[in-house]
Structure 1
Amino acid sequence: MKTLWFETALLPTGWMERVRVTMAGGVIATVAQADPKPSDERHAIGIPGLCNVHSHGFQRGMAGLSEHRGTGRADDNFWSWREVMYRFLDRLAPDDVEAITALAFAEMLEGGYTRVGEFHYLHNDPDGARYADPAEMAARIVAASDATGIGLTLLPVFYAHSDFGGLPPKPGQRRFLSDLDGFAALLDASAKLLGGDALCGIAPHSLRAVTGEELAALLAMSPAGPVHIHAAEQTGEVEASIAFSGARPVEWLLANADVDSRWCLVHATHLTDAETDGLAASGAVAGLCPVTEANLGDGIFPAMRYLAAGGRIGTGTDSNILIGAADELRAIEYSQRLAHRGRNMLAEERRSTGRRLFDSALEGGARALGVVGGIRPGASADIVSLSTSHVSLADRKGDALLDSWIFSGRAGAIDCVWRAGRRQVVGGRHVASGAIAARYRKTLARILS
């Protein structure tokens, strides 16, 4: 048994001074207000680790490579970015995916995320054929998780079509594709890879890539556990959905898919008021990735109305263009300020904006990835310590610590991170950062040469 002692820590009941947290077997055993004992490891500020509900780990390797103009402004959008992504992934072998994903996972830990939902759709070899082991690529995601220590909710993706109505896939999508039988084999093989507290869910890619009949079959394959799906990220997707079915993507899901608390609708950017209220009432989580959504020009999620209706949110790093929990939380609030031309738009009356964002992402993220969050007995010992030596946190207490970390913390505000009771980040750096970065650099040098 190991014990951490914090001068102050954020618990489910709020901030508490002089907190002793005992950990055994990777799980929090006790939390109590007490003075430190000589054997306790002492730190200043403890907060729960957050869940990253949506990541495509391999895309970390192309971060920054799509920031140049095409032939015209109207043609430079999500769909043109997707073509760049297709060209990049065609170069990736299994070892490459493992190396790139390990860097992304290490950076997530350094940024305050202690578990990731890996929306894993890169299944096939460069020619589109299945590897001899159908879970070859999934095994590389698991290996990256093991190497970094991050918690993993693996979300194998079913992807069969290029657009609504079951249209044939395009050549650039060949590495993603499955049929239902092949996906069942992939799902079974992927689940067998997992150990510890790792979990497996399912991820129908989107209503563009999955028909209604296929969606029903996928849900039957996995009657419990997380279900994640891209929905209404782009206006073009919404328009195509209406043209095909007469319904918008989220409208169709709410009416036809029994969406409930195990679902995470990723992005859900373009919602009507009725969809917003319906999604909030369903108990599902909206998986918001505002840094990626801004990078791709997706749009702004209606967070004010959604949270006011009792909706749940989680945050994700998606394309991994920039990795950090504070960055995603800040971007959610700033998007609302820009849209509504006001300040502290998501705070409750006379309450902290940072605390509202953090609490919402903590609860919603844990729900989306199938775990219990927070510094509490029975939860995984996933804890982040903030550094009082960081100038942005000087003389802050209580919720002002979260406000200052999220809105002005910059690099260095996070000191240590424990994941399942093991300290994976020390002094703001992952304990294996040197080796992970060296492998990544070697991999990128070959891929981009």
Structure 2
Amino acid sequence: MSPGLLFAEHALLPSGWAQDVLLAWDAQGQLTQVQTGAAPPAGVARAGGPVLPGLPNLHSHAFQRAFAGLTEYRSVQGGQNDSFWSWRTLMYRFAGCLTPEQLEAIATWLYLEMLEAGYTSVCEFHYVHHQSDGQPYADAATLSRCLLRAAQRVGLGLTLLPVLYQTGGFGGQAPHAGQRRFLNPTEALLRLLQDLGPEAAVQGARLGLAPHSLRAVPPDSLREAVAGLTALDPLSPIHIHIAEQTQEVDDCLLWTGQRPVQWLLDHAPVDRRWCLVHATHMNEDEYRRAAACGAVAGLCPSTEANLGDGLFDLPLWAQAGGAWGLGSDSHTCVNAAEELMLLEYGQRLQRRQRNVLAQADQPHVATAMTLQAVAGGAQASARPVAGLAAGQRADWVVLDPQHLALAGLSPQDMLSAHVFGSHRSSAVREVVSGGVTRVQQGRHALHESAAQAFVQARSALLAAV
């Protein structure tokens, strides 16, 4: 990398839209200056359109991209409803056959897709650790290193979250065969984080921990894992699936007499380090308490819709001062703008209102959502990716002002048209991550070769299922 300068006529800063913005960054890919009202210096490159902060994707299971679209059929008989739980059975079949080479090819394509769609970093919730028979690889970090290499190859910022997974249900139920590749003793997972530290540091990746869920991590293990992680790095992020489905809430009540989020807040040191992924089914008290502790809500609208999870009450969360960010989770959709659209549309359908997530100081809903998603995603990533400001990573997206949906509009209306009136990624002209241009004219340089490798990996995986 090398230092650089860019002049933008319009850029979306953390405080809102600004004109005549000069961006400067250093050889480490970090912004050193964001000057507004600047005269364009001679010889300095000009952005080809409005500049947006790159969006962090705060929840990803990379391998699931390989079977997106392949579970859209009724898989249960006898009048039972298809649900998250029947989908999970199908997912386990794919997870059981995955090879390291396939994971790396799938993740490389996925991470490239993310860049082309306006994401500039990802939180990878990584839970396939072992060989297909459940035995550890000779190098326990084999699959984690596949993900690190994939992100480095395409230039996507990474927060890697190895998953702690130990039980098959609440109350210490034994895991079943479909989960054998996920399982680790607490000390083994903490050792994995220590082993990955130097390699992650070299490429600027962040490490954290993901207790999979309350049903998969017993209370003692959760406590030991959080304490062990804090001893390694007191600022590292902690992500957990919680209250995604009503059955999970019912099972937790049966086990403890408490709802999942209620139990977690009473038994774990939840604070700004935590990301509560989904948190779909909370009562009003849980919304209030979880927001007050500073945790980020990790929302994945396309996956939550695909699995029939339900709708998060984002206005209630916002009233309590809660932060939130967006993830693409199972990757039925890999499109930053489309996740924003689906999030707003879900709230509209629930309330029968429009522009639900607009704010008094940001009446354009696409602008308001983008700024909130960037701030919450940065907090959950524990990386300096909180937007176009000095000290943050030089991550941004340039929109195409000549795109039919955007042509002739003001910057805030261009963003609105990008989210609500285009094909969602078709107006992305350029994407920069860490000060390096990764996408030009909507295409990553590795697009063709990565796509071919992905198709080959998926075909081999499908033949093995």
Where on the TM-score scale, by shorter chain, does this alignment land: which range? over 0.9
1:243 aligns with 2:254: yes
1:132 aligns with 2:141: no
Distance 1:397 1:101 in 2: 36
Aligned twin of 1:121: 127
Q: Which amino acid aligns with 2:109?
A: L
Query: Per the alignment, in what secondary structure is the counterpart of residue 457 of structure 2?
Result: helix
Aligned twin of 1:172: 178
Distance 2:121 2:198 in 1: 19
The offset of 1:87, in angstroms, is 0.6
Q: Which amino acid aligns with 1:415?
A: R
CA contact (8 A) 1:134 1:185 kept: no
CA contact (8 A) 2:241 2:277 kept: yes
Question: Larger deviation: 340-349 or 303-312?
Answer: 340-349
Aligned twin of 2:6: 4
Question: Larger deviation: 339-348 or 58-67?
Answer: 339-348
Distance 1:288 1:206 in 2: 16
Alignment match of 2:405 (pick from 389, 392, 417): 392
Distance 2:407 2:290 in 1: 40
Alignment match of 2:57 (pick from 43, 52, 56): 52
CA displacement 1:167-225 (0-9 Å, x = unmatched)? 11010000100012222222222223212321100000000000111111001111121
- Equivalent positions of 1:24-63 (< 5 A) are 24-25=26-27, 26-32=29-35, 33-43=37-47, 44-63=49-68
Query: Per the alignment, in what secondary structure is the counterpart of residue 97 of structure 1?
Result: helix
Distance 2:275 2:15 in 1: 26
The offset of 1:13, in angstroms, is 2.6
Aligned twin of 2:69: 64
Aligned twin of 2:448: 434
CA contact (8 A) 1:127 1:175 kept: yes
1:210 aligns with 2:224: no
Q: Normalising by the residue count of structure 2, what TM-score does the alignment of the two structures yield?
A: 0.94
Query: Per the alignment, in what secondary structure is the counterpart of residue 50 of structure 2?
Result: strand
1:444 aligns with 2:458: yes
Q: Which amino acid aligns with 2:118?
A: G
Query: Per the alignment, in what secondary structure is the counterpart of residue 384 of structure 1?
Result: strand
Aligned twin of 1:425: 439
CA displacement 1:307-354 (0-9 Å, x = unmatched)? 121110010000011101111111111111111111111212471211
CA contact (8 A) 1:329 1:357 kept: yes
Aligned twin of 1:79: 85
Q: Normalising by the residue count of structure 1, what TM-score does the alignment of the two structures yield?
A: 0.98
Alignment match of 1:308 (pick from 301, 316, 319): 319
Distance 1:409 1:74 in 2: 38
Aligned twin of 2:268: 257
Aligned twin of 2:277: 266
Query: Per the alignment, in what secondary structure is the counterpart of residue 31 of structure 1?
Result: strand
The offset of 1:386, in angstroms, is 0.6
CA contact (8 A) 2:53 2:395 kept: yes
Question: Identity rate of aligned residues, in percent?
Answer: 43
- Equivalent positions of 1:8-27 (< 5 A) are 8-25=10-27, 26-27=29-30
Query: Per the alignment, in what secondary structure is the counterpart of residue 321 of structure 2?
Result: coil
Unaligned runs of 5+ in 1: none
- Equivalent positions of 1:142-153 (< 5 A) are 142-153=148-159
The offset of 1:396, in angstroms, is 2.0
Unaligned runs of 5+ in 2: none
The offset of 1:28, in angstroms, is 0.9
Q: How many residues align?
A: 449
Query: Per the alignment, in what secondary structure is the counterpart of residue 18 of structure 2?
Result: strand
Distance 2:53 2:107 in 1: 23
Aligned twin of 2:394: 381
Distance 2:14 2:347 in 1: 26
The offset of 1:2, in angstroms, is 1.2
Alignment match of 1:358 (pick from 370, 381, 390): 370
Question: Larger deviation: 234-243 or 218-227?
Answer: 218-227
Aligned twin of 1:371: 383
Distance 1:266 1:251 in 2: 15
Aligned twin of 1:281: 292
Distance 1:321 1:190 in 2: 29
CA contact (8 A) 1:28 1:379 kept: yes
For the structure 1 residues 36 and 309, does the alpha-carbon distance in structure 2 shift closer, same or farther, using more than 3 Å as the test? Answer: same
Q: Which amino acid aligns with 2:246?
A: T
The offset of 1:30, in angstroms, is 1.4
Distance 2:364 2:65 in 1: 32
Q: Which amino acid aligns with 1:213?
A: D
Aligned twin of 2:352: 341
1:416 aligns with 2:430: yes
Distance 2:315 2:197 in 1: 37
Q: Which amino acid aligns with 2:31?
A: I
Distance 2:215 2:353 in 1: 36
1:219 aligns with 2:226: yes
Distance 2:245 2:292 in 1: 23
Distance 1:62 1:193 in 2: 29
Distance 2:408 2:289 in 1: 43
Alignment match of 2:104 (pick from 98, 101, 109): 98
CA displacement 1:235-256 (0-9 Å, x = unmatched)? 0100000000001110111111
